[in-house]
């Protein structure tokens, strides 16, 4: 299978340095978040447990596509095997769905903390938190394997050009060699189950959260409650905004550059910004990073 960047040969050295820098920043930021949370007992709470798993999923999500793209730029090769494409797509869907599921779980965590604070320690106990993460992983794995099964059913090609940076599942209907109506229905069903249901969970959680916060009498209490959700809301908007832009752009075959830019935002920029969003104005993370730096130095 062959995929190409559109008229960017002269920009390859610049793009190589840009993507490599962003990838390294993403890796460093997310690894620091994981190390800070795992090494600081003050952060051994459900909220930061889910955040560390989100950082781990972000690392896997970006590492699925960007290293291959960086190597291709350096070697001037655009070739990927059929098996390699299916493998890349499988991991891409796995980690993208993990991000989706974990953001929904984190919204539920905020819902319990704000709307039912007395029950929070009992409800969000370590076993239940671990169960939610494992459930998110196995559901994501199921989604990934179903996408692979659909790809094997509708594709029989060996060489094709894809106007994108990676083997995106949204490209499959355009590459089919047979009627895809039934498989399209299955794809839409999967999107509804693994995409829209987590979004509905997030919206419902924040509907309850906002309703609960508005009943708080003091403005200081309302501000504190909103502040605990600010980082998560920012990440949710960034993740779903760029994901929606990426998939809408991928369907606009007349504008491959727009699809490429949206793909970069989705796969590189969003995971790179997440650690900064969660660490800015978060005294717990800042203190943990300072203590981690003190131990290293």
Ranges of each domain in the chain: 2-296
What CA–CA distance (Å, rounded) separates 28 from 95? 18
What's the half-sphere exposure (Cβ side, CA atoms, 13 Å) at 73? 23
Instruction: Indicate whether 182 pLDDT > 80.
Output: no
pLDDT of residue 221: 67
Task: Please provide the DSSP assignment of 63-124 as one string.
Answer: HTTHHHHHHHHHHT--B--HHHHHHHHHHHHHHHHHHHHHHHHHHHHHHHHHH-GGGHHHHT
Query: CATH top-level class for 2-296?
Result: mainly alpha
Length of the chain: 297
Instruction: State the pTM of this model.
Output: 0.85
Q: Do the beta carbons of residue 122 and residue 75 sit within 8 Å?
A: no
Mean pLDDT of the chain: 79
pLDDT tens-digit profile of 235-279? Answer: 898 888 877 766 665 555 444 445 555 666 678 888 898 888 888
Per-residue pLDDT tens digits for 40-51: 888 899 999 999
């Amino acid at each position: 299978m062959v995929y190409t960047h559109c008229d960017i040969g002269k920009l390859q050295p610049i793009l190589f340095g840009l993507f490599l820098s962003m990838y390294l920043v993403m890796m460093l930021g997310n690894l620091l978040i994981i190390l800070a949370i795992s090494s600081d007992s003050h952060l051994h709470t459900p909220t930061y447990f889910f955040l560390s798993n989100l950082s781990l999923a972000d690392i896997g999500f970006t590492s699925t596509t960007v290293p291959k793209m960086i190597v291709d730029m350096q070697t001037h090769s655009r070739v990927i095997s059929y098996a390699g494409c299916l493998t890349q797509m499988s991991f891409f869907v796995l980690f993208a769905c993990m991000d989706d599921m974990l953001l929904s779980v984190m919204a539920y965590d905020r819902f319990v903390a704000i709307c039912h604070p007395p029950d929070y320690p009992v409800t969000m106990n370590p076993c239940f938190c671990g169960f939610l993460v494992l459930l998110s992983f196995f559901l994501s794995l199921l989604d990934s394997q179903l996408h692979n099964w659909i790809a094997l059913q509708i594709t029989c090609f060996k060489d094709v050009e894809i106007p994108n940076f990676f083997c995106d599942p949204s490209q499959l209907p355009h590459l089919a060699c047979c009627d895809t109506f039934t498989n399209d229905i299955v794809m839409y069903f999967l999107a509804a189950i693994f995409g829209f249901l987590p979004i509905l969970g997030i919206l419902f959680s924040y509907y309850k959260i906002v309703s609960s916060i508005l009943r708080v009498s003091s403005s200081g209490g309302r501000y504190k409650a909103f502040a605990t959700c600010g980082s998560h809301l920012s990440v949710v908007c960034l993740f779903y905004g760029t994901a929606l832009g990426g998939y809408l752009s991928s369907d606009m075959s007349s504008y491959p550059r727009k699809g490429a830019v949206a793909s970069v935002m989705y796969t590189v920029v969003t995971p790179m910004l997440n650690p900064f969003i969660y660490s800015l104005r978060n005294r717990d993370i800042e203190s943990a990073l300072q203590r981690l730096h003190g131990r290293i130095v």
